[in-house]
Structure 1
């Protein structure tokens, strides 16, 4: 599992201009089962994406296609961790 930390590198006006395209990007990868959670940080200086079922190279390729990356509006910090425990009722994949 990966925690993707998006850090905005452009003013919010430019982020807002690209937001619809970014949301379409997110939808594509939610539907593919790669992204399982996403949202803006508070305060709004970036966002967080949780990604699963993917190797790091492929995740990096996906992130490079994000309109925020293409337009150089954000940078990404990716942290991988091994999920070993989940809250009851939470259904996320746990690698074997």
Structure 2
């Protein structure tokens, strides 16, 4: 499992222009079952994505195609997480822990 932090960078002012393309990129990740959760880092510092079911190399390639990353609106930082305990409602996140 991975947490992707997308922190605003030098091209932040381009976010508005690229927002629709970024949202479409996010939706593809959800549609393909890779992204489980996405949201904003507060206060207005960027975004976060929880991803599962891919290798680090696959996720890196996916993140590189985010229009926000391509246009330097954000800098991406991918953190690998190995969950070991979860609330019963999130037990599915413990399955296939290696991905």
TM-score for the superposition, normalised by structure 1: 0.90
Q: Conserved in 1, the CA contact under 8 Å of 2:11 and 2:71? A: no
State the partner residue of 1:43.
43
State the partner residue of 1:62.
62
Would you tell me which structure has more helix in proportion to its own residues?
2
**Per-residue deviation at 1:13?**
3.6
> Unpaired segments of 5 or more residues in structure 1?
none
State the partner residue of 1:94.
95
- For residues 20 and 59 of structure 1, the distance between their equivalents in structure 2, rounded to whole angstroms, comes to 21
Q: Conserved in 2, the CA contact under 8 Å of 1:82 and 1:95? A: no
- For residues 85 and 52 of structure 1, the distance between their equivalents in structure 2, rounded to whole angstroms, comes to 16
- For residues 16 and 50 of structure 1, the distance between their equivalents in structure 2, rounded to whole angstroms, comes to 23
> Unpaired segments of 5 or more residues in structure 2?
none
Q: Conserved in 1, the CA contact under 8 Å of 2:86 and 2:94? A: no
How has the CA–CA distance of structure 1 residues 44 and 54 changed in structure 2, closer, same or farther, with 3 Å as cutoff?
same
- For residues 32 and 9 of structure 2, the distance between their equivalents in structure 1, rounded to whole angstroms, comes to 28
Q: Pairwise CA RMSD of aligned residues?
A: 1.5
Aligned 1:1-96 pairs, distance under 5 A: 1-10=1-10, 12-90=12-90, 91-96=92-97
TM-score for the superposition, normalised by structure 2: 0.88
**Per-residue deviation at 1:45?**
1.2
Aligned length: 96
